[in-house]
Amino acid sequence: MDLLEGLNAAQREAVTSTEGYVRVIAGAGSGKTRALSHRFAFLVDELGILPGNILCVTFTNKSAGEMRQRIRRLLGDCDTGYINTFHGFCVSILQEDGHALQYPKNFLVLDNADIDAMLQLIYEERGLTLRDMSFSSARDMIEMQKLFQKPEYYLDLIALPHDALRQKYESAQGVSDIIFYGYLCQQKKCFGLDYNDLLKFSLYLFEQHGDIRLKWQQRLEYIMIDEFQDIDSIQYDLMRVLCGYHGNLFVVGDPDQTIYTWRGANVKYLLEFDKVFPGTKTILMMDNYRSTPEILAAANSLIDKNLLRMKKELRPVLPGGAPVLCRFADSPEAEAQWMADQMERLHGEGVPFREMAVLYRAHHVSRAVEEELLRREIPYTIYSGVQFFMRREVKDALSYLRMVADRDDLAFRRILNLPKRNLGRRRMAFLEQYAQDKACSLYEALCDSLEDPLFKGTGAQDFVALIERFSPGCEQRPVSELLSALLDESGYEAMLRTEGSQERLDNLAELKQSVYAYETTCGEESRLTDYLAHVALFTNADADTQADRVRMMTVHAAKGLEFPHVFLCGMNEGIFPSRKVRTRQEMEEERRLAFVALTRAQRGLYLSQAGGHLFDASPRYPSRFVLDIDDGLLLFSPPPRQELIEESRAYIKAREKRLLDRQPADFFAAGQRVRHPLFGMGTVLEADPEKGAHLVQFDSMPTPRTISLRAKLTPC
């Protein structure tokens, strides 16, 4: 097979530029995934590089799976080396070499459900309630602490014994510190690592153990990274370490699709790549194979209004199509009616509903659309809510596997009484106290207490017997076989049948199928511990893409996807762009997000906004992102009132004046001493990027003050 056949000149250059540092600026729909997969195959088939010596990093597990499939089709081989997310690759590093940090090979990768289970324990132990802090806010706080406030936290997690961490937790006073150190304490107890830890631990491992670092550097002869515009500082540091021996680094990205700066992404790593790595070869891939010229003209016109960007323009390859339609409706209901009209028209012309997608900036915008689709009986599905691997029955089944493999406390708590074994709160409280007193796991506490009168007449004996029967040799059994047997002999599946929960049974059937598929594609890495690490990192779109339904999702969720017809609704000031935008930098990111939305469309693009009033009773104005598109590139039906356009532009101009011009460097760290021109000396308690302000405790005041960046604080 000729791996270069069918590639354009830029794609061929990307595939065959194998040595040194290569940067590809790839516009939306330019075939970058095709180029990446063909480059991997070219390295293997033409240059003779072993797949196990190639690292290809993608940003989602879905993308990684698609990449593996493409490469297998090209090579006809199941061996695809390291095609992972950053987090997935770090799991491989730590499974192989985490022992150098005194972490076991079968450490736990924690997901949100695991973290919430830990938080529940902390809240109960310290008398906290959701009024003090919701679980969602607590997870965000923990992440911010790890990233910014306490970036050296991992040293405590690695070096401190559990007792020392527990002492920090018990002596903590404020709600944030109680939760944070309680969480570290829980992590230490079960050797659990969250996504932040995977990266931090891997970097620390390389810093402390030069032999391990050199081993991985030598192994990874070629490194390729997709979506490089979304890389953050920790991922960047890890990447620089990994390519430090062979110096073969290939990165692909689009500065105009940087939409994750709020979670640490920094586009400068892509824009300044050639300055950091002298001799970099830069390749531009601007031919767009996805969208019609009409759609691309609108998208190019929109993004050109950003000032902080690399000037470039997508070039259409497809022939001309329908104009981009735009509707300024009088109300959200009228907007939804117009969208439904267009959908029914398209469907009458033979377009399946599954080829239509509704995108929006925020979930609340979908309400009126959903109501109208329901009224007209237009089928739809929302890409949100509970993901497949987060569903209750799937989490239960995986917890049974985890008990057999690790006997960890989180899994124990989840399934001890599923199905009912008369092991409720009172007996769990007894086990909790016993485990704490004896410094042992909950499972060990149960084993030690089987003869206690408290556990007579319960299913404790049967539960222990089940785990003891399946644990020996579990790594040698196929995971699919192990899972089926566990669900059967535990009585869990029978419980669901008794409940008549067909949907939940179907989900278990899907889980079994996914396990079997994993086994058939992973070869030697299909042991139970490997599978559990894989599942903990896996995210699922959770939708049947073949069902004939209109798909509805946020623009962020649509990143990396494409649809024949896209309806982008809620194009109002205060919605898109969000009312939360306070800086010019954030506004440019919002415009990039709008650009991403427009470039999801292949054949038809429909933009709409609703008149009336927002939640705060302020009038709705059309979004600047619609007005940014040059005249003649949108077809309005009917044409908007000129008065509305003038009022909107005046509103946008006034709002533009209020935008701050700030960089992350403008913020002081917590603990920094500063001087205010009027209030005098004070200490920064925290920075709030969303508000564009610092919380400062001034020496002259009994209570802290929130000080906007407009007031210039000077460091002391």
Q: Can you tell me whether residue 589 is helix, strand or coil? A: helix
Phi-psi region of 181 (alpha: psi -120 to 50; beta: other; left: phi over 0): alpha
C-alpha distance from residue 363 to each of 67, 368, 692 (Å): 30, 11, 25
Residue 509 has a CB neighbour count (10 Å cut-off) of 11
User: Which residues lie closer than 8 Å to 79 by C-beta, 6 or more apart?
Assistant: 51, 52, 523
Residue 704 has a CB neighbour count (10 Å cut-off) of 16
Between CA 606 and CA 384 the distance in angstroms is 22
- Cross-strand bridge partners of residue 22: 250, 281
Note whether 405 and 106 are within 8 A (CB).
yes
Between CA 243 and CA 237 the distance in angstroms is 10
Query: Which residues participate in catalysis according to the annotation?
Result: 32-33, 226-227, 257, 600
Torsion angle (degrees, nearest 10) of CA 68, 74, 79, 81:
-60
**Beta strands at 680-688 and 693-698: parallel, antiparallel or unpaired:** antiparallel
Torsion angles phi and psi, residue 276, rounded to 5: -75, -35
> What order of strands is seen across the sheet that includes strand 714-715?
705-708, 693-698, 680-688, 673-676, 714-715
Among residues 335, 400, 405, the alpha carbon closest in space to that of 606 is found at: 335
**Beta strands at 693-698 and 705-708: parallel, antiparallel or unpaired:** antiparallel
Between CA 61 and CA 538 the distance in angstroms is 6
Q: Can you tell me whether residue 193 is helix, strand or coil? A: strand
Per DSSP, the residues of 357-409 read EEEESSGGGHHHHHHHHHHHT--EEES-SS-GGGSHHHHHHHHHHHHHHT--H
Note whether 607 and 324 are within 8 A (CB).
yes
Angle between helices 233-242 and 195-208 (to 10 degrees): 40
Q: Can you tell me whether residue 273 is helix, strand or coil? A: helix
Report the b/e string of 525-546 with b at 16+ CB within 10 A: ebbbbbbbbbbbbbeeebbeee
Amino acid at 586: E
Between CA 277 and CA 39 the distance in angstroms is 21
Token pair belonging to 572:
């109002």
Between CA 90 and CA 199 the distance in angstroms is 6
Note whether 68 and 80 are within 8 A (CB).
yes
User: Which residues lie closer than 8 Å to 2 by C-beta, 6 or more apart?
Assistant: none
Per DSSP, the residues of 117-174 read HHHHHHHHHHT--TTT--HHHHHHHHHHIIIII-TTHHHHHHHS-HHHHHHHHHH--S
Among residues 272, 334, 257, 266, the alpha carbon closest in space to that of 303 is found at: 257
